[in-house]
Chains A and B, each alone.
Chain A
Amino acid sequence: MNRGIAITGMGIISAIGNNVDENFRALTNSDKGISRTDNIDTIHKDEIMFGEIKKSNDDLASELGLAADHNFTRTALLGAFAARQAVANAGISNMSEYKTGLINSTSVGGMDTTEKHYYEYFENPDTIKFISAHDGGDTSQKIAEIIGLEGFVTTISTACSSAANAIMLGARMIKAGKLDRVIVGGTDGLAKFTINGFKTLMILTDTYNTPFDNDRKGLNLGEAAAFLVLESDKIVEKEGKKVLARITGYANANDAFHQTASSENGEGAFLAMQKAFKVANLDPTQIDYINMHGTATPNNDLSEGRAVARVYEGKDVPDFSSTKAFTGHTLAAAAAIEAVYSVLAIQNGVVYPNLNFTTKMAEFDLVPQTELKHKNIDHVLSNSFGFGGNCSTVIFSKN
């Protein structure tokens, strides 16, 4: 196994909690965060459910101490909220002490605000400030501002695997010595734009999502943000930092099959997992828990399940579950919140239940873990797949 890159801090906000502890408590108590929407005025509000964070934009802005005339979008508010926690958790007091970067990821950026004000821009001068906040890169700059970071800032957008690629790039930049410390993660607020888009793709369920169930009907969209602080071993040693876990493997591969659908045999997912094992120098059988992408769409779970079955052909498949039944699919943030969950699984020795599962899928013999399970966990594999065929895998290991 390679030594990997140290994770020294985490922050999160999702439909199941406003910080790391609340998220962990919900995961271990089987409290899902799927509900009707309170914050979004969509014509679909009575048909579908969401992993919605109940804090309003005003709540978030006041907790962040923003001035009344701020132009933070919901995506930026959530991102800043989670990133600030991560920085505090890592005990960083002086952001400029080391070469520090921010790698953020988002798929919608400021769309939530743009769609509210799009037709007012010419008539209502108060809304003009939001035009510049539309851009995904603006979201990252705002997060950097809140945490007082002036170094390298970039934004990744590879759809629903975005945060996995942010984590991967961060780990690589530390490994290559380009940065000493990097804050990596993703954020996406719910927007009508995405709700309508997923609706036209007919992959939204009208009830609670049921990952890996034979009768699954589709996903619940969610919103979230999460960030990890990665630090070089030099800093860890010098400052005697507590290492929460390490990133030992990562890879991405393109499925090269379809703009949005995954291939029948999950080729991209299979390749991503294989390459990640190689980077980590681990055998697949050393994985103790797989946090699946598991969106509960008919296509994803079949393709991902087949890929996992191929990786473990002739061997026992490790305990696996999807946490999407708790949080909904939080798009660009998904791999970031699931990174936090993976680290917590290692720290606390737990496999989270795959909620809402009743019937095994007809196509293969894979049954997710449905009850909370306590056991020692050394290595967690987390999958995230995005439209555009981008398949990403990250492996987390005990320090």
Chain B
Amino acid sequence: MEALKQELKEKIIAVLNLEDVQPSDISNTDALFGDGLGLDSIDALELIVLLDKDYGIKLTDPKEGKNIFQSIDTMAAYVEANRTK
């Protein structure tokens, strides 16, 4: 699980072009949206593509993303439970 969390942090930084952010800057419980990393709705859609591409998880309703992308902890738990690759 810790490895997955680290992997997610690296992927998020790369996919969302978070220049000047290091994986160690993101704590597992930090809010990813809003005040935390300051991600926006397009970033959320991009994370939905990431789930599909790298973990074979397909979301159809963008609202589902809200709960899943609360933090690295929630995202990792969801990926662990639902991944198909």
Contact = CB atoms under 8 A, between A and B. Distances in A.
A202 B45 contact: yes
Nearest to A260: B42
A262 to B, nearest CB: 11
A259 B46 CA distance: 14
A68 interface: no
Nearest to B44: A202
Contacts of B41: 258, 260-261
A258 B40 contact: yes
B49 interface: yes
A327 B42 CA distance: 27
Contacts of B62: 202
B39 to A, nearest CB: 12
Nearest to B65: A202
Interface of A is mostly: loop
A67 interface: no
A43 interface: no
Contacts, number: 15
Contacts of A200: 45, 49
A261 B44 CA distance: 13
Interface string B20-57: 00000000000000000000111001001100000000
A360 B61 CA distance: 22
Contacts of B61: 202
Contacts of B42: 201, 258-260
B20 to A, nearest CB: 21
A200 B41 CA distance: 12
B40 A201 contact: no
Interface string A192-212: 000000001110000000000
A212 B61 CA distance: 19
Nearest to A259: B42
A260 B41 CA distance: 9
Interface in A227-269: 258-261
A259 to B, nearest CB: 7
Given A200-B49, A202-B45, A258-B40, 12 more contacts: A200-B45, A201-B42, A201-B45, A202-B48, A202-B61, A202-B62, A258-B41, A258-B42, A259-B42, A260-B41, A260-B42, A261-B41
What are the 6 A-B residue pairs with the smallest beta carbon separation, nearest first?
A: A202-B62, A261-B41, A202-B45, A201-B45, A200-B45, A259-B42
Interface of A: 200-202, 258-261
